[in-house]
């Protein structure tokens, strides 16, 4: 069922792309503006996601359409790719049966994301705010290893899926002093639901049996963008 919902979210996003093209043509016809942005992105995982996912870096592209040049309302879309660096997190010793039990989990993740929604801000530059809806696609692998009940333990847990995501953010654009276009710095809270991953705080053991439960959790993160808009 989650896979079906994910596919529907992607189809919904793809269905919005012709509307974005139509808006771009409408912007040209009305004397509005159509801008493209390219960015470097940093990701700071938060909440449950922040317990296992490392700092991420990636690239991002944006399309920003203002159909009326003298009004701040526009439409923004973002498509980006992130790689979260591998992070190793120890399982709390209080969760394990004896002092000789030691477990840790290493997690790696890559994700592709898309969002489209309104942007409020003047095309000429200055402060702006935006919100989007779309999807996140995850490729996550976790490797748990160590000792449980006096025996070596090694377990692999992964998840690949497409899930609904939303975001809200704000930033500033300033005309570039060294050439055409504008420099943009923005921050965004991005949240995706339905991703299955481990919470290290919930792992326990009973002798050599390690109790691990992957649950659907949110992947909250703060994205920082720095780039140029033309």
For 80-105, how does the pLDDT look when each residue is reduced to its tens digit (9 = 90+)? 999 999 999 999 999 999 999 999 99
Predicted local confidence at residue 13, as pLDDT = 47
For 2-229, CATH number out of 3.40.630.30, 3.30.1330.90, 3.40.50.2300, 2.40.160.20 equals 2.40.160.20
Residues 139-158: tens digit of each pLDDT: 999 999 999 999 999 999 99
Contact 163, 12 (CB under 8 A): no
- Residue 1 or 44, more confident: 44
- Residue 12 or 140, more confident: 140
**What does the alpha-carbon distance between residue 192 and residue 51 come to, in Å, rounded to a whole number?**
16
For residue 217, pLDDT over 70 is answered with: yes
Predicted local confidence at residue 33, as pLDDT = 86
Q: What pTM does this model have?
A: 0.85
Predicted local confidence at residue 114, as pLDDT = 97
**What does the alpha-carbon distance between residue 20 and residue 18 come to, in Å, rounded to a whole number?**
5
For residue 29, pLDDT over 70 is answered with: no
Three-class SS of the chain: CHHHHHHHHHHHHHHHHHHHHHHHHHHHHCCCEEEEEEEEEEEEECCCHHHHCCCEEEEEEEEEEECCCCCCEEEEEEEEEEEEEEEEEECCHHHCCCCCCEEEEEEEEEEEEEEEEEEECCCCCEEEEEEEEEEEEEEEEEEEEEEECCEEEEEEEEEEEEEEEEEEEEEEEEECCCCCCEEEEEEEEEEEEEEEECCHHHCEEECCEEECCCEEEEEEEEEEEEEEEC
Contacts of 152 (CB under 8 A, 6+ apart): 145, 146
Residues 177-211: tens digit of each pLDDT: 888 899 999 999 999 999 999 999 999 999 999 99
Predicted local confidence at residue 31, as pLDDT = 60
Contact 199, 216 (CB under 8 A): no
For residue 138, pLDDT over 70 is answered with: yes
């Amino acid at each position: 069922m989650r896979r079906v919902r994910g596919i529907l979210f992607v189809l919904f996003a793809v269905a919005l792309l012709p509307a974005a093209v139509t808006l771009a043509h409408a912007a040209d016809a009305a004397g509005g503006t159509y801008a493209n942005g390219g960015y470097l992105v940093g990701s700071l995982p938060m909440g449950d996601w922040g317990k296992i996912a490392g700092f991420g870096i990636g690239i991002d592209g944006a399309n920003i359409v203002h159909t009326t040049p003298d009004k701040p309302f526009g439409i923004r879309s973002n498509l980006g790719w992130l790689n979260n660096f591998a992070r190793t997190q120890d399982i709390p010793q209080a969760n394990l049966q004896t002092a000789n039990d030691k477990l840790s989990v290493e997690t790696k993740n890559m994700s592709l994301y898309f969002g489209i929604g309104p942007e409020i801000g003047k095309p000429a530059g200055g402060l702006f705010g935006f919100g989007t809806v779309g999807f996140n696609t995850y490729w996550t692998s976790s490797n748990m290893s160590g000792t449980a009940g006096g025996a070596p333990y090694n377990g692999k847990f992964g998840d690949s899926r497409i899930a609904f995501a939303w975001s809200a953010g704000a930033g500033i654009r300033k005309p570039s002093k060294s050439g055409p276009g504008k420099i943009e710095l923005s921050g965004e809270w991005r949240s995706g639901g339905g991703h299955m991953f481990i919470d290290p705080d919930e792992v326990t053991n009973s002798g050599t049996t390690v109790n691990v439960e992957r649950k659907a959790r949110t992947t909250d993160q703060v994205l920082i963008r720095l780039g140029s808009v033309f």
